[in-house]
Amino acid sequence: MNSTSGKWGRRRWIVLGIVILFFLCAKSLGLTPAGLIPPDETRWERAGAFFKAALSPAMDYQDENVPEDAPPIWLKGLYGLLLTLKFAFGGMSLAIPLALIMGFFGSSSWWPEPRGRILDLFLRGAFFGFRFLMSLLRSIHELIWALLILSAFGLSPLAGMVALALPFSGTLGKVFSELIDEESRDASTALKAIGHRPLQTFFVAMLPAALPNLITYSFYRFECALRSSAVLGFVGIETIGLYIELSHEEFYYNEVWTYFYLLLALIVLVDFWGAGLRVRLNSFKGGCEA
Amino acid sequence: MSSAFELNGVTCRFGDLVAIDEVSLSIEEGEQVAFIGPSGSGKTTLIRLLNTTAVPNDGSLSVLGNAIADQSVESLRVLRSRVGTMPQHLGLVENLTAIQNVILGRGGQRSTLRSIRDLLVPSRGDTEKIHQLLERVGIEEKLFTTVSKLSGGQKQRVAIARALFQEPEILLADEPVSAVDPARARDTVRLLAELSRELGFTLCVSLHHLELAKEFFPRLIGLRHGRVVFDGAPDLLKDQQLESLYELTADEMMTDA
Ligand SMILES: Nc1ncnc2c1ncn2[C@@H]1O[C@H](COP(=O)(O)OP(=O)(O)OP(=O)(O)O)[C@@H](O)[C@H]1O
Ligand SMILES: [Mg+2]
């Protein structure tokens, strides 16, 4: 009785503390409910225009200076999506091999059991080195990576892909190493008992066992990469985000919504595809889950 | 005949706990031996000593004529590839197919690269051989089925086929029938004993079921608190070490219940 009421008491204090912290942060940020309300007439109008445009996405360019022979806006939008996909796909294609290498050294379940001091030191060194590298890579957002890389190497498609690949490889690598280490070691123990080398069991038992989870997770990250790839348009890399940014700057809100809806359609499509893939990959578990 | 195993005063400790206590025995090549004894008596530890994944703290052990204390890491590995082990939990890779699991039986005799290739594109010869083995253990239609979709008894068959594909000189099986119903347990034990005679490998099995051990094995080794309390033919069991045997079956009934 006493212990449960003590637990409740502690929990109440934690909740109270979080609420107080929220109000302190809100106050220091100058946050008031009134802040959401536009301060003057023109802002009101602009907000109204923006949301009204959602009902009538542009079927034609709002910009009168667009040349006659330019492709229709929906085609330009589709092209933007293609570029967005290309960056997401390119970024992930770079990130996955990097993540596999870092995830391999960041996991410990494949370490040989009796091992010499030098090998032990090497493995531990690589373990902590790669874990640190992965945290470093993912602690910096892809937008900041993009700004860093663009300012160093200039605007290029490769720069965009690398900016995406670096933080994504950090996250993927960390999750890969954890997925591999979480797999049951029964199979690799059994195989070592019949003469397999420790590294061999990594490739024939641990990796295959973790593979469905690795693929499912990579696919989920691909969806994230798609959104990030679109956002990279805001720093000048040619994806659909760049078109959104340019139209928005000129207050062509109907065009903005056309691009939004195309992006939404793509993400819904990829999501469905991913859900189908997950069902197929996990069907081996044979459970009753739909 | 030369000996499969020679143990001389072998002791194995886990901290203060003595799991195997000064055991001396020898098992000849081609023998069929069942290790019996209550839970915690040291059967699994003995099997791990025999397949050299556990090392004696005291005493000497030799496997197929090789004193294991003198072996390098690599020569121990090669020795292990000549001894098959079916662990209690089978140790199959659940999301690989039956053929992929069976082909790994030979992994200890093949390079890492070759093993990876075996998983991706098994050679025609291996595929044929594995098909025959699955036929022998009665699940040939499951060749390309993912192991997680098989029943407990079918998984056991895959594990047996993996051990057979290894073509070991000795097969160790730790409680191979703990996960199936009595009728299937009897089938599995009989199959192992038959295969051992047919193919000529030495068979050592740890068993909770005293009746099955008596039915299929010409030699029983009874363990208790890590010591050998009985070693002989099943029909001698009635006279010899009667007292500890009674305790043993009482324990066994408790663990079976
Ligand atoms: N890795 C280990 N670490 C510590 N103690 C262990 C280890 N393996 C076994 N033991 C101990 O050694 C003793 C013998 O265990 P073992 O697993 O060999 O018994 P067993 O006869 O196989 O039992 P069961 O019939 O329940 O499988 C037990 O007391 C067990 O707790
Ligand atoms: Mg055991």
The verdict on residue A172 lying in a domain is yes
pLDDT means per 10 residues, chain A with 290 residues, are 62 92 87 74 82 84 80 89 93 96 94 90 97 95 92 86 95 94 93 95 94 90 91 90 90 90 91 83 43
The verdict on residue A97 lying in a domain is yes
The verdict on residue A271 lying in a domain is yes
Give the pLDDT score at B255.
53
Each residue of B69-127: pLDDT tens digit? 989 999 999 999 999 999 999 999 999 999 999 999 999 999 999 999 999 999 999 99
Q: Whose C-alpha lies nearest to ligand 1, atom 25?
A: B39
The CATH number of B1-82+170-257, from 3.40.50.920, 3.40.50.300, 3.40.640.10, 3.40.50.970, is 3.40.50.300
Give the pLDDT score at B230.
87
Tell me if B44 CB under 6 Å of ligand 1: yes
Supply the range of the domain harboring residue A84.
77-289
Structure tokens at B167: 């073509």
B17, B18, B210: residue to mutate for ligand 1 pocket, most atoms within 8 A of CB: B17
In this predicted structure, the answer to whether residue B251 has a pLDDT above a threshold of 70 is no
In Å, how far is B240's CA from the nearest CA of chain A? Answer: 35
Give the pLDDT score at A284.
38
Q: Whose C-alpha lies nearest to ligand 1, atom 16?
A: B42
Domains of chain B, residue spans: 1-82+170-257, 92-167
Each residue of B179-229: pLDDT tens digit? 778 888 898 999 999 999 999 999 999 998 888 999 999 999 999 889 998
The verdict on residue A63 lying in a domain is no
* CA A191/CA B86 separation, integer angstroms: 10
What's the B45 CA to ligand 2 centre distance in angstroms?
7
Q: What is the mean pLDDT of residues B133-160?
A: 93
Tell me if B144 CB under 6 Å of ligand 1: no
Please give the number of the atom of ligand 1 that sits closest to the Cα of B175.
27
Please give the number of the atom of ligand 1 that sits closest to the Cα of B46.
18
Q: Please judge whether A191 and B91 are an interchain contact, meaning their C-beta atoms are less than 8 angstroms apart.
A: yes
Give the pLDDT score at B1.
53
The verdict on residue A179 lying in a domain is yes
In this predicted structure, the answer to whether residue B25 has a pLDDT above a threshold of 90 is yes
- Chain B residues touching chain A at CB-CB below 8 Å: 51, 53, 73, 77-85, 87, 89-96, 100, 104-105, 107-109, 112, 115-116, 119, 146, 148-149, 163, 166, 168
The verdict on residue A2 lying in a domain is no
In Å, how far is A183's CA from the nearest CA of chain B? Answer: 10
**Amino acid identity, position B87:** P
Report the predicted TM-score, pTM, of the whole model to 2 decimal places. 0.83
Domain count within chain A: 1
Residue of B nearest to A202 (CA): B112
Tell me if B199 CB under 6 Å of ligand 1: no
Tell me if B57 CB under 6 Å of ligand 1: no
Tell me if B45 CB under 6 Å of ligand 1: yes
Tell me if B40 CB under 6 Å of ligand 1: yes
Q: Please judge whether A200 and B91 are an interchain contact, meaning their C-beta atoms are less than 8 angstroms apart.
A: no
The verdict on residue A146 lying in a domain is yes
Instruction: Name which of A204, A211, A286 is nearest B104 (Cβ-Cβ).
Output: A204
Q: Give the domain CATH number at A237.
A: 1.10.3720.10
The verdict on residue A257 lying in a domain is yes
DSSP code string of chain B:
--EEEEEEEEEEEETTEEEEEEEEEEEETT-EEEEE--TTSSHHHHHHHHTTSS--SEEEEEETTEEGGG--HHHHHHHHTTEEEE-TT----TTSBHHHHHHGGGGGGS-HHHHHHHHHS--HHHHHHHHHHHHHHT-GGGTTSBGGGS-HHHHHHHHHHHHHHT--SEEEEESTTTTS-HHHHHHHHHHHHHHHHHH--EEEEEES-HHHHHHH-SEEEEEETTEEEEEE-GGGTTTTTHHHHHHHHHHHHHHH-
Measured on CA atoms in the order B229, B231, B235, B239, is the torsion positive or negative? Answer: negative
